[in-house]
Each structure stands twice: as C-alpha cells, then as structure tokens.
Amino acid sequence: MRRIRVYGEEVLRRDTSEVKNIDEKIVKLIKSMKDTMRKRQGLGLAAPQSGVSKRIFIALGKNDKIITFINPETLSSSDKDDIDMEGCLSFPEIFFSIQRAKKIAIKAYNEKGKEFIIEADGLLARCFQHEMDHLNGKLIIDYATDEEKKYWQERLTKLTKSF
C-alpha cells in the first residue's frame, strides 16, 4: 500500500519524467499502485498520486482487469462529451463537473515493455483523460467553477492542512 497524496501536496503539480527503463523498482511501484488502487476502490491511479513523478498510471479496464500505462501518449480524442461529475482519490469525497472527450486512443507500454494502443469511450475514456492530466500536473480542481470551489472550500482547506 502507498499513501495517496492529496490536494495541496507539491508532487501532484510537478511535471513527470519519462520512464527510461522498466526495472525492478518500476515493477515494484506498479504492483504497490495496483494494491493501493484496489484497497481504495479507485478506477485509476497515477504515479504522482503515489509520490513518484514518473509517467505511469493504472486504470481499471473491462472485466476488472487493471491496465498499466507507461509513458502514455494520446493519439486521438473525440469532441467533448457532456459534462459529468468526477472525483479523485487525491480529493476524497469531493466532486467537480468536468467536460471530457467521449472517446480517446492512447499508445503506451505495459510493465513488460510491450507497446500497445487502446481505445476507450464513456467512463473508461474519462478515467484515462483524468489520469493523463495527473501526469501533466493538472487536477480536477483546475476545471472547477468558482461556485464549485466555494462550495467545497471548507473540505479543500482541511485537505491542505492534513499533510
């Protein structure tokens, strides 16, 4: 299990670096991220949320299979979908309305170093975009309206004082 970093912690805003070599340390990180995501019942988890500034994220795919993305790149995305509520393990029990692309295609590597391309739509596409944002230091609060930020202000303040 890894401690999930919460809103206000600097690591969530840092640029992530590319994974040059999928060594034992990276494989161990991914395994611990999978354990953490399962325990916290998340749909996805990015390395920065685990305190590591690397271009890695995992997501719960079809049939509850966890997909590992190392050095992911967005190949294509559709026009923006309807706005939907989105949460994040780094913002416990806080939700913002976010507009995302309905479909997305991503190229990445798995933990064995094998390149793959995956297309997703709906909730899975939303999850992939959310996790890609984490790799670029972007958080769900960046999409929030002033009204939403004001609504959640007390809880957000508690989060930033919790670490």
Is 133 a residue whose pLDDT tops 80? yes
Could you tell me the residue ranges of all domains in the chain?
A: 10-160
pTM: 0.95
pLDDT digits (tens, 9 = 90+) for 1-29: 889 999 999 999 998 999 999 999 999 99
Question: 10-160 falls under which CATH superfamily?
Answer: Peptide deformylase (3.90.45.10)
| Residue 148 designated active-site | no
The residues near 84 (Cβ < 8 Å, ≥ 6 apart) are: 97, 98, 100, 126
Catalytic hit among 9, 86, 111, 131: 131
Q: How many CB atoms lie within 10 A of CB 95?
A: 16
Tell me the per-residue pLDDT of 72-96, one tens digit each, with 9 for 90 and over.
Answer: 999 999 987 778 999 999 999 999 9
